[in-house]
Structure 1
Amino acid sequence: MPGHTVHSQSHLGGLPMNLFITIWIWIRRLIVACLTSLRGSIGRRQNQNSFLRLCRRQPATPHRWFHAQPKPKWVQHEIIRLKALMPQAGCRTVAHHFNRRWKSRKQMTVSKTYVADTCRKHQYRILEARRKLKHKNPRPIPRNRVWGCDLLIKTDQHGQPHLALAILDHASRACLRLQRLSDKSSWTLLHELVQAVKRYGRPQFIRTDNEAVLVSRVFRFGLWLLGIRQQRIAPGCPWQNGRVERFIGTVKRELARESVAGEREMTRTLWEIRTWYNHDRPHDHLQGRTPVEVWAGIDVFAAKPG
């Protein structure tokens, strides 16, 4: 009609266009979802059927485990030897010592599991190796050729630590120096070493561990001036300086029985232990003789003439 604006709206079967589009979108989504679900179920069923056919055609093969190559025989012998030398050490410690020694030399390493299995299987061999090491007579060497040097610490009744130096002759097992030190310096150690050289002569070698004061430039320069060659043991291998280590163990055992109250008592106790060790204590590896008798070349068991 004239004077009025007529808004036309499209109809499809009596339904507005917007409502028809919305219904069509939902129907389309429902169809897509049904087709996707049907395709997934068909795929899973095909996979199951193919797996069943594969199982029927091919019999199941047993699983193959990877077996590492066996270690050489010398590795087993070295583990047994290290365990015999360090009976209180754990498997991890033994493995660390083995790897530090043989990784660069022969490119060979072991794990703590291998060490544990070896020690468990060869307990009797370890005990036998310990027995042989304990009763093995060392190779005879000339007197005053090699000296062993090491430090020990003793705490007195007041909790004050006292440092002492021990010097031992390898051939006679004689304690050449067992002296309390005022401080832990290279100059103090060189002074005590010079006193021992003045009294007993100059050795060809002196064997020490890798403590900082024993490998310092001052200490090594002093040894060069004295004409003494230094033998440094491998890190973590105290048995390479076993004579002085065994002597320090004896000294510590005797010091544990004494009550040390100060510096004077410490010096006096060390002097008494050194006198007892050199003159009164027979040594098994010296065939029952004392270190002083071996140093002087006296054989008390030899038949006397007449």
Structure 2
Amino acid sequence: HVKPDIGVQEVGAMNRWLSGLLARWKRFLRWVQQNLITRVRYRSRGRHGPRPTPRPVFAQPKPTWVRDEVLRLKALMPEAGCRTIAHHFNRRWKSRRQMTVSKTYVADTCRRHQHLIYEARRKMKHRIPRPIPRNRVWGCDLLMKTDQGGHSHLALALVDHASRACLRLQHFADKSSLTRWQELAESVKRYGQPQFLRTDNEAVFVSRWFRCGLWLLGIRHQRSEPGCPWQNGRVERFIGTVKRALATEPISGSKEFAEALQQVRTWYNHDRPHDHLQGRTPAEVWAGINVFRAQPG
């Protein structure tokens, strides 16, 4: 009987030990996979399947009228920024309809709808107002001009809405309500009594003395809302025309300022045709003269 080699026996034992160790290692990996990894997946999915991914919460979309109002304000005030547009909107609609907008919403809306703003501005520019009888509404506002010496001069402007005629363009040395009322009374005595007088919220126009004077004259007072100069747009537009005309006139004192105002008033009423008056001047519309009508004979 031949005894086996001791080296061969040791190699066989080593192989069996390695095989057993490899088998135990495989069982350990299988246990890790079945218990730890599966448990993590089970927790992430929940008991009844995968958990739904939470949807991001967004604010409710603004109504359509909010977008239209923002675009209208931007069309009326093209130079105003997003913050200014938001302030105007919130002042008008926060208490009325409990609606506010942020400057970010205004910026996004204006950026997405540039074509609508352009169309709104084009329609506003070419819109023809409805004809109304003269002396129905007068527009009143103050004009300020700085002379070459840096001194400011005030003037009162009165414009008839129907004919666009400048009824008063008078220089004043003070800013009292009594002085304004006296000039208004002189205009009523000369041109007739208007039904409404539209002004802004200047202190001289909302004072108790001025409102009492309007009541004595039988004129109803219309005031534009704060921050809405376009509601008194015809006299504002007239003042802009006067300022452009005065920009080329060197003014050194009150006397020259008063003379320049009278020259501008004469040019505006009798020489300058108006687009919305079909090419006629305010003086012709006030007098009921149509120079484009064919003359008999």
Q: Which amino acid aligns with 2:230?
A: W
User: Does the alignment pair 1:272 with 2:270?
Assistant: no
Residue 203 of structure 1 aligns with an amino acid whose one-letter code is P
RMSD: 1.6
Equivalent position SS for 1:257: coil
Matched, 1:213 2:204: yes
SS for the counterpart of 2:247 is: helix
1:173 partnered with 2:164: yes
Pick one of 128, 145, 150 that aligns with 1:137: 128
- What is the CA distance between 1:62 and its match in structure 2? 2.9
**1:90 corresponds to:** 81
Partner of 1:292: 283
Cα deviations by residue, 1:64-115 (Å, 9 ceiling, x for unpaired): 2111111111111111111000000011111111111111111111111111
Aligned residue for 2:69, secondary structure, equals helix
| Structural mapping, 1:220-299, within 5 Å | 220-299=211-290
Identify the range of structure 1 (94-103 vs 291-300) with the bigger mean alpha-carbon deviation. 94-103
Question: Quick one: which amino acid aligns to residue 177 of structure 1?
Answer: R
Instruction: Identify the match of residue 196 of structure 1 among 158, 163, 187.
Output: 187
The equivalent position to 1:57 in structure 2, one of 36, 43, 51, is 43
Q: Given residue 189 of structure 1, which amino acid in structure 2 is its aligned partner?
A: R
For residues 293 and 237 of structure 2, the distance between their equivalents in structure 1, rounded to whole angstroms, comes to: 28
Tell me what 1:185 maps to.
176
* Cα distance in 1 between the residues matched to 2:189 and 2:36: 94
What is the distance in 2 between the residues matched to 1:293 and 1:62? 74
Over the matched positions of the two proteins, sequence identity in percent amounts to 72
Post-superposition offset of 1:305:
2.0
Compared CA separation, residues 51 and 282, structure 1 to 2 (3 A) = farther
Q: Does 1:116 align with 2:107?
A: yes
Distance of 2:90 and 2:148 partners within structure 1: 42
TM-score (norm 1): 0.82
How far is 1:52 from its partner?
8.8
Q: CA deviation at 1:154?
A: 0.4
- Which sections of structure 1, spanning at least 5 residues, go unmatched? 1-48
Measure how far apart 1:51 and its partner are: 11
CA pair 157-62 structure 1, distance change in 2 beyond 3 A: same
Residue 70 (structure 2) aligned to one of 71, 75, 79: 79
Look up the match of 2:155. 164
Q: What's the secondary structure of 1:147's corresponding residue?
A: strand
Supply the AA of the counterpart residue of 1:305: P
CA distance in structure 2 between the partners assigned to 1:171 and 1:124 by the alignment: 32
The residue type equivalent to 1:221 in the other structure is C
